[in-house]
Amino acid sequence: MTSGTTSRQKPRREEPVSYYGRPVIKAPSWSAQDIAGYFFLGGLAGAGSVFAAGAQLTGRATTAKALKVSSLAAVSLSAAALVHDLGRPSRFSHMLRVFKPTSPMSMGSWLLSVYGPAAGAAALTAVTGRLPRTGVAATTAAAVLGPALATYTAVLAADTAVPAWHGAHRELPYLFAASATAAAAGMALATGPPHENTPARYACVLAAVADGAATHAMERRLGTVAVTCREGRAGALLRTARGLTAAGAAAALLLGHRSRPVAVGAGLALLAGSVCTRFGIFAAGIASAEDPAHTVGPQREAAEQRAQRSQ
């Protein structure tokens, strides 16, 4: 008998499986067009209100007005997408019967209900030029609520059992904040005059850097589940998002203040990049829920780590 046969070989690690290979959890029945669109539009509206308040404070009146109108349009379309996915408008109003701070869905419904009128008043007073004090108060209220509106959808997604979302619960809000900032900066570049777009030009660069850092941190935390962010539809969308965001930020920084067409093109690239980010994250979540390995694998790894720490 040789020494190779007497030595005990390390058992081969089995791939995580489920009963008959079926998904361990049920993937969300949310419509990609409605809910991923809801993620994007809410981020654009919330971050846009913050940019609008800053533009108003610094005397960039044209940009401020454009961002207030775009935020109202975005939150209106966002609410419409949510109601469409719910199936009946009454289901949204039913969510307002309860005020539950521990529920992201409950808090999001109330946030949307309060932010919407504030954004509407800010846009209406900016367009008509009437009731300036009311406009200032509404603009301030929308700007205060804007960051929460832009990021609460990340908390909503991470509060589910979907592996790619729940596993990235710490990084996902930062990624959504960066994506929303890029979208709002893109809207400012596309709708405002070049001599007013300096803050947006620098903001989009910061957003692009933050987006890349948050994505890297998210994939590192997800471990093996991160493959859902790199392959298939989600991988294609997220790679496109990074390319569009980087190209838009570079064009805006270098030439956005000199050329109106370049500023508009950069703004549209940033908006498209933000759309791709939200749809990519949505697709990654669905892919992770449909593959039982992404549910069983992380649970097994966590159990093994706990066992090693207890030894």
Q: Where are the beta strands (DSSP E) in the chain?
A: none
Q: Do residues 40 and 281 make contact, with C-beta atoms less than 8 angstroms apart?
A: no
* pLDDT at res. 297: 58
Instruction: Identify residue 226 by its one-letter amino acid code.
Output: A
Tokens 């029945």 locate to: 29
* pLDDT at res. 11: 41
Residue 245: closest CA among 285, 203, 287, 281: 203
Is 163 exposed, middle or buried (CB count within 10 Å of its CB: 0-12, 13-18, 19+)?
buried
**Alpha carbon of 79 to those of 72, 75, 250, 276: distances in Å?**
11, 6, 33, 20
* pLDDT at res. 131: 93
* pLDDT at res. 16: 52
Instruction: Identify residue 220 by its one-letter amino acid code.
Output: R
| Per-residue pLDDT tens digits of the chain, which is 311 residues long | 444 444 444 444 445 555 555 666 677 778 889 999 999 999 999 999 999 999 999 999 999 999 999 999 999 999 999 888 887 777 777 777 777 777 777 888 889 899 999 999 999 999 999 999 999 999 999 999 999 999 999 999 999 889 999 999 999 999 999 999 999 999 999 999 999 999 999 999 999 999 999 999 999 999 889 999 999 999 999 999 999 999 999 999 999 999 999 999 999 999 999 999 999 999 999 999 888 777 765 666 665 556 666 66
| Four-residue CA torsion sign, 182, 187, 190, 192 | negative
Q: Would you put residue 129 in left (φ > 0), alpha (ψ -120 to 50) or beta?
A: left
* pLDDT at res. 291: 80
pTM of the model: 0.86
Q: Do residues 112 and 75 make contact, with C-beta atoms less than 8 angstroms apart?
A: yes
- Cα–Cα distance between 265 and 242 in angstroms, integer? 16
Contacts of residues 215-222 at CB distance under 8 Å and 24 or more positions apart, as own/partner, are: 215/175, 215/242, 217/171, 217/174, 218/168, 218/171, 218/172, 218/175, 221/167, 221/168, 221/170, 221/171, 222/163, 222/164, 222/167, 222/168
